[in-house]
Amino acid sequence: MLRLRSFLALLLASLTLSGCGILGGSKTTIVQITNKITSLPAGQTYQFMANVQHDQKMGVTLSLTGQGTLVLNGTTAVYLAPPAPPTPNSVTVTVTAANGSGVSDSDTFSISPATGPVVSITPPTLTVTAGGAAVTLDIAVTGDDSSDTLTPGISSGSGCGGGVCGTFGTITGTPGGGAYSVQYYPPSSVTASTLQTINVLSNLNNSTLGTAFVTINP
């Protein structure tokens, strides 16, 4: 009877410890891209959403194989496709847990031709300091036309005190030539480092908006 009681006590202790995660009861890290795609038009942006669980609040890291631009914006990964289908035509976005577990998920897709002119901005990502010097942005337009009118703009956010996160000079370039440039002026101040989106809009039919991502530091 004593041996049976000792065995039962040991078994109960083991179950209790296991429930606390000491003997393998800890939850497995989960990383899942929830909105995978098979194709994306040239020049378009796409926001990948990920279901991340049990990552010890360490977040994720991103990697990109193939052409385009990938940035982490909060809890989402934003991908910007190149202005034309690449060769080879294959892009892979991978999201990996940053807790050292090695758990990841990926999506592989192709880039399809755009249905009209595509506006692209170089560099597609940049970092500036509030109140700092202006930055020159180069703008390219595929299938450009002399009637093309380009309009730059930038998102507004709480990181910029609720105001506009910068201004622009006059766009220069020969209409229809496909190559332009514009000066971007950072805001005078920000409350904290903030990621904002720069866009350049063309008035040409079926044109794709140009996109770049700017990190503004105090």
In the predicted model, what is the mean pLDDT of the chain?
87
The domain spans of the chain are 30-112, 119-217
**What pTM did the predictor assign?**
0.83
* Residue matched to tokens 């105001």: 163
Classify domain 119-217 by CATH number: 2.60.40.10
For the chain, the straight-line distance linking the first and the last C-alpha, in angstroms and rounded, comes to: 72
Q: What is the pLDDT of residue 157?
A: 65
- List strand residue ranges (DSSP E) for the chain, in order: 30-33, 39-41, 45-53, 60-65, 69-73, 76-80, 91-97, 104-112, 119-122, 125-129, 135-141, 150-154, 167-168, 179-185, 194-202, 210-217
The yes or no reply on domain 30-112 and CATH 2.70.150.10 is no
Mean pLDDT by runs of 10 across the 218 residues of the chain is 36 35 64 96 96 90 96 85 97 94 96 97 97 97 96 83 87 97 94 92 97 96
Q: Over the stretch 189-205, which tens digit does the pLDDT of each residue have?
A: 898 899 999 999 999 99
Q: Output the CA–CA distances (angstroms, integers) from residue 61 to 2, 75, 93, in the order listed.
A: 54, 11, 11
Domains 30-112 and 119-217 are alike in CATH topology: yes
